[in-house]
Amino acid sequence: MAEAFGNSPRRDSNGRALLGGLALSDLVRSGSIRTPSYVYDLDAIAAGARELREAFGNESHLVAYAVKANTAGPVVRALAAQGCGADVVSGAELSVALACGVPPLSIVYNGVAKRDDEIDKALGAGILSIQIESVEEIVRVAARARALSLGRGARARISLRINPALDFEALETHANIATGHDAAKFGIAQDDLPRALEIIKASPEVELVGLGHHIGSQIPSVPAYRTAARTLFSLGVAVRAGGVSTLRFLDTGGGFGIDYGAGAVPKPGDYVRAALEERKAAEVDDTMLMVEPGRSMVAAHGVLVSRVVQTKVSTVRGTARRWLMIDAGMNDLIRPALYQARHRVVPLETNGASADFTATLWRVVGPVCESSDDFGVHALPDSPPEHVALLDAGAYGYVMSNQYNGRALPDEVFLRGGQIVTINRAKSQDDWVQERVAIQG
Ligand SMILES: *Cc1c(COP(=O)(O)O)cnc(C)c1O
């Protein structure tokens, strides 16, 4: 079986899984990396960003990388170096983006419940726009702008995040990551748009510079993205017709799908080309087209490397059940437990050049005391590998990790130019013990 190893990683002629040109098994065996570790290929991340930006041709655009997918400095800096901006969802993420060299005028700030201090930070930094998610928030941002007295006619730049009221089943995405249905807490309902515009008109402290939406994550279909974009652009036309002359950008959001192994999905550039066509058709192509991809920028370029701790085989009513127990758990990668997501699990080494093995179905599980600490059933060698990689773990992986069950956070390893450039080593479990015990009372 010539097995494909992830979207970007491949195997060498000895059957060793490669990432960023390095054999992951060598890194583990030499002790260069511990398990569990997230390993990221910064060159592939940069190349993906270049390819996406090329899809825009000469059109005015901003790729605002959704920092929440992977907040690591080397990742954000690599994307900033490719001319990406940032979409942040907290004051802390805003600080990361600024410190990693993202220009303020390439940053947008989303979030349904921004605190006053976070709004103040965004206004102080002079970011491109605060994306407003409710009519109530317009009043709050105007009040903060007044309190900070931005002065000399400078107004707080805001954009309206519209809730497109889509049916998430039609979008074929998981309910927990769909954000564009009308019961979601996100965005301003279209019926509330006239009221929002009235308040903006009456608020000299704010200036409406954009309209946007984010219809959800892991959208597998370009037609769905296109249809939503068309609606957004027609709203842009209507808002201008209503007398707003300050619109600078239209933002069709992120959510580009990636291939977690179930089959081909569109390329990020396909979504962009569809949006560009619709923007032209709507005759709003004097505005900048913004997209906010997170997952598609980083997911395929990171893996979670884990050691097999033991197997467990039991016979239940005459049927063998086989578990492969690894040293990574749901605290390291929560997506399977949270979204029923499936990450391919592959051995770091296969025997010999052919990458042939007798496949056995193993249920791969972690050490955490929860039934949902389960990475699903995977075809792996009959004699279990010493180490495995969970693929496509570069997005919503480390950022969601936690210390449940007294587990240390995983390490993060960054590769560039065929070598390890840096390792973010986690605090030990002993530190965790001491921290818990040291709480007095
Ligand atoms: C999370 C998020 C994104 C990125 O979504 P992906 O599915 O990772 O591309 C974009 N915009 C907003 C507002 C978000 O909350």
What is the structure's pLDDT at 382? Answer: 85
What is the structure's pLDDT at 176? Answer: 54
What is the structure's pLDDT at 359? Answer: 79
What is the structure's pLDDT at 350? Answer: 85
Omega prior to 385 cis, within 30 of 0? no
Distance (Å) of CA 215 to CA 225, 255, 256, 323: 8, 7, 10, 38
| Parts of the chain belonging to CATH 2.40.37.10 | 10-41+300-437
Per-residue model confidence as pLDDT tens digits over 11-59 = 998 899 999 999 999 999 999 999 999 999 999 999 999 999 999 999 9
* CA distance linking residue 407 with residue 437, whole number of Å: 15
Superfamily of domain 110-293: Alanine racemase (3.20.20.10)
| Parts of the chain belonging to CATH 3.20.20.10 | 110-293
pLDDT surpassing 70 at residue 174: no
Q: Which of 2, 113, 262, 369 is catalytic?
A: 369
* Of the candidate ranges 136-140, 149-153, 173-177, 402-406, the one whose mean pLDDT is the lowest: 173-177
| Residue 23 CA to ligand 1 centre (angstroms) | 32
Per-residue model confidence as pLDDT tens digits over 363-401 = 999 999 999 999 999 999 888 999 999 999 999 999 999
* CA distance linking residue 37 with residue 28, whole number of Å: 10
pLDDT surpassing 70 at residue 279: yes
Confidence class for position 3, pLDDT limits 50, 70, 90: very low
Pocket probe mutation, ligand 1, options 174, 177, 217, max atoms within 8 Å of Cβ: 217
* CA angle centred on 207, ends 203 and 210, rounded to 5°: 135
Confidence class for position 262, pLDDT limits 50, 70, 90: confident
Position in ligand 1 atom list of the atom nearest CA 217 = 7
* CA distance linking residue 212 with residue 221, whole number of Å: 19
The rounded mean pLDDT for the chain is 92
What is the structure's pLDDT at 172? Answer: 54
* CA distance linking residue 266 with residue 259, whole number of Å: 9
Confidence class for position 81, pLDDT limits 50, 70, 90: very high
Per-residue model confidence as pLDDT tens digits over 290-348 = 999 999 999 999 999 999 999 999 998 999 999 999 999 999 999 999 999 999 999 99
| Residue 389 CA to ligand 1 centre (angstroms) | 25
Q: What is the CATH number of domain 10-41+300-437?
A: 2.40.37.10
* CA distance linking residue 84 with residue 396, whole number of Å: 19
H-helix segments, 204-333: 222-241, 268-281, 295-298
How much is the average pLDDT of 397-422?
Answer: 98
Residue 161 β-bridge partners: 212
| Residue 286 CA to ligand 1 centre (angstroms) | 24
> From the CB of 324, is ligand 1 less than 6 Å away?
no
Neighbour count for residue 422 (Cβ, 10 Å): 14
Confidence class for position 357, pLDDT limits 50, 70, 90: low
Residue 220, token pair as written in the block: 């597998």
Residue 132 β-bridge partners: 160
> From the CB of 214, is ligand 1 less than 6 Å away?
yes
* CA distance linking residue 119 with residue 122, whole number of Å: 5
Catalytic, 100? Answer: no
Q: Tell whether pTM > 0.85.
A: yes
Selection from 346, 357, 355, 360 nearest residue 390 by Cα:
346
* CA distance linking residue 140 with residue 320, whole number of Å: 61
Pocket probe mutation, ligand 1, options 188, 218, 292, 400, max atoms within 8 Å of Cβ: 292
